[in-house]
């Protein structure tokens, strides 16, 4: 089958790392291994420069029509002064909102060749392979009321509201359980049911979904604070972790540092399955930003971007075996001692973005 992809490189190193995805796609097409049809669009500062918006309606229509959106990174000092609604991040937020991307998947994988660049000891992280599933469209970041009120006595009061409905917890739970079935069959749900009503409901709904539909998967519950402690103490106990927007934001950043550089971390964001087509909207992007400090120098690590494309192969395009091959190629290139500057260490060879991309493609 032919797969329709929308490539949105964005700004700064976004364009540099996306070029390596294009290299891989061209190679796969030429070799007859896969058939990709790609469209390209502008997002972030690049879209603002062309059209005075962070993403155009025409690009959004392409996103809606694609099997997966592959996103680079947006932003940079050049656009610091643009109107709020047209700021680069607005493009990313519109994509997430209009595509209904409620599930954010952040794997934390420790390649053996990089185990010494982790914040933790080698034996704690070597072979680590966990998946954090963060709820992305609900919770305290979006709940109303959200206000700052002047109390008139020299005091102000700030209010954020954490809200979750049953359906939101059910659908994120299903994403986590489905993933676990393809991995090591274990889900750990994290909340704070001891002090939060949303934690009580979260725990109840995740348990109900499990008991009703996923009895074959092992389910554990941890409080999010001690869960965070366990994440740095003994991370290999986890397979899939499912948690809300706020805790997921923090826990996934913590997990990221178990595995080394920002330049190594991919992510996926998934929407609901369309009842008619059986497909779901999805977007794949590296965790890092546009890195203005190294942009244009050919120094950026393309692994996070390529591994994000690998997640697209696995989760949207039904090409898990090819995704495995890509992961193996990345591990093999690292094992040979080839490194971009961000992950260099004693005795390794530093190469450029395009040399790294080429090494992975030809591996």
Q: Would you state the structure tokens that stand for residue 238, as one six-digit string?
A: 């986890």
89 is a contact residue toward Mg ion (CB under 5 A): no
CA distances 104 to 35, 126, 259, 264, 297, Å, are 27, 24, 18, 17, 30
SS (H, E, C) 290-314: CCCCCCCCCCCCCHHHHHHHHHHHH
The DSSP string of 111-165 is -GGGGGGSSS-HHHHTT-EEEEEEE-SSGGGT-S--EEEE-SSS-EEEE------
Q: Is 262 in the site for ligand NAI (CB under 6 A)?
A: yes
Round to whole Å and give the CA distance between 157 and 352: 50
User: Which residue of 263, 266, 271, 357 would you call a contact of ligand NAI, by CB under 6 A?
Assistant: 263
- Residue ranges in 239-258 that form contacts with Mg ion under rule CB under 5 A: 249, 253
| Burial class of 218 by CB neighbour count within 10 A (0 to 12, 13 to 18, 19+) | middle
Query: Which range, of 58-66, 162-170, 251-259, 290-298, touches ligand NAI by CB under 6 A?
Result: 290-298
- Report if residue 173 touches ligand NAI, rule: CB under 6 A: no
Candidates 192, 239, 284, 315; catalytic one: 192
Among 51, 98, 141, 160, the active-site one is 141
Measured between alpha carbons, how far is 210 from 180 in angstroms, rounded to an integer? Answer: 12
Q: Which of 57, 216, 225, 324 is catalytic?
A: 225
Tokens at 44, concatenated: 């972030």
Cα–Cα distance for residue pair 11/296, rounded to 1 Å:
10
Among 63, 133, 300, 351, binds ligand NAI (CB under 6 A): 300
Is there a contact between 11 and 54 (Cβ–Cβ < 8 Å)? no
Rounded to a whole number of angstroms, the minimum distance from the CB of residue 72 to ligand NAI is 7
Q: Which x/- pattern over 302-341 shows residues binding ligand NAI (rule: CB under 6 A)?
A: --x-------------------------------------
Binding residue (CB under 6 A) for ligand NAI from 18, 73, 110, 258: 73
302 is in an annotated binding site: no
> Dihedral through CA 82, CA 83, CA 89, CA 95, nearest 10?
-130
Among positions 173, 266, 271, 289, the unique one binding ligand NAI when judged by CB under 6 A? 289
- Total residues in contact with Mg ion, by rule CB under 5 A: 2
Query: Catalytic site residue 284?
Result: no
Q: Which stretch binds ligand NAI (CB under 6 A): 59-67, 109-117, 238-246, 298-306?
A: 298-306
- Distance between CA atoms of residues 242 and 176, nearest Å: 6
Which member of 224, 342, 351, 360 binds ligand NAI (CB under 6 A)?
A: 342
Is residue 327 marked as binding?
Answer: no
Which region among 62-70, 108-116, 204-212, 297-305 touches ligand NAI (by CB under 6 A)? 297-305
Which residues are the active-site residues? 141, 192, 225, 249, 253
Which residues of this protein are in contact with ligand NAI, per CB under 6 A? 13, 73-76, 92, 262-263, 285, 288-294, 300-301, 304, 342
Which residues of this protein are in contact with Mg ion, per CB under 5 A? 249, 253
**Residues making up the binding site for NAD(+):** 76-89, 289-301
């Amino acid at each position: 089958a032919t797969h329709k992809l929308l490539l949105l490189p964005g700004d700064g190193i976004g364009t540099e790392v996306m070029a390596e995805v294009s290299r891989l796609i061209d190679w796969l097409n030429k070799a007859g291994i896969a058939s990709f049809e790609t469209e390209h669009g502008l997002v972030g500062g690049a879209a603002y420069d062309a059209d005075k918006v962070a993403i155009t309606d025409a690009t959004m229509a392409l996103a809606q029509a694609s099997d997966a959106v592959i996103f680079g990174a947006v932003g940079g000092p050049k656009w610091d002064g643009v109107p709020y609604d047209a700021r680069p991040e607005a493009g990313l937020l519109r994509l997430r909102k209009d595509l209904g991307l409620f599930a954010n998947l952040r794997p934390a994988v420790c390649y053996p060749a990089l185990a010494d660049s982790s914040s933790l000891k080698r034996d704690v992280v070597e072979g680590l392979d966990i998946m954090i599933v963060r709820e992305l469209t609900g919770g305290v970041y979006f709940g109303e009321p959200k206000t700052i009120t002047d109390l008139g006595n020299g005091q102000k009061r700030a209010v954020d509201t954490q809200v979750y409905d049953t359906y939101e917890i059910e659908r994120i739970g299903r994403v986590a359980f489905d993933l676990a079935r393809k991995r090591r069959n274990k889900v750990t749900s994290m909340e704070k049911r001891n002090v939060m009503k949303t934690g009580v409901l979260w725990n109840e709904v995740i348990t109900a979904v499990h008991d009703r539909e996923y009895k074959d998967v092992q389910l554990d519950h941890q409080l999010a604070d001690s869960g965070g402690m366990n994440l740095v103490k003994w991370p290999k106990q986890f397979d899939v972790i499912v948690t809300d927007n706020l805790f997921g934001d923090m826990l996934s950043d913590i997990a990221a540092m178990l595995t080394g550089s920002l330049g190594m971390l991919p992510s996926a964001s998934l929407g609901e399955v369309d009842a008619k087509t059986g497909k779901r909207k999805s977007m794949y992007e590296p965790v890092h930003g546009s890195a203005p400090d190294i942009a244009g120098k050919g120094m950026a690590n393309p692994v996070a971007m390529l591994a994000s494309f690998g997640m697209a192969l696995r989760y949207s395009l039904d090409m898990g075996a090819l995704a495995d091959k890509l992961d193996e190629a990345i591990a093999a290139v690292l094992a040979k001692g080839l490194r971009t500057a961000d992950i260099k260490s004693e005795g390794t060879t530093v190469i450029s973005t395009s040399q790294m991309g080429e090494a992975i493609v030809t591996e």
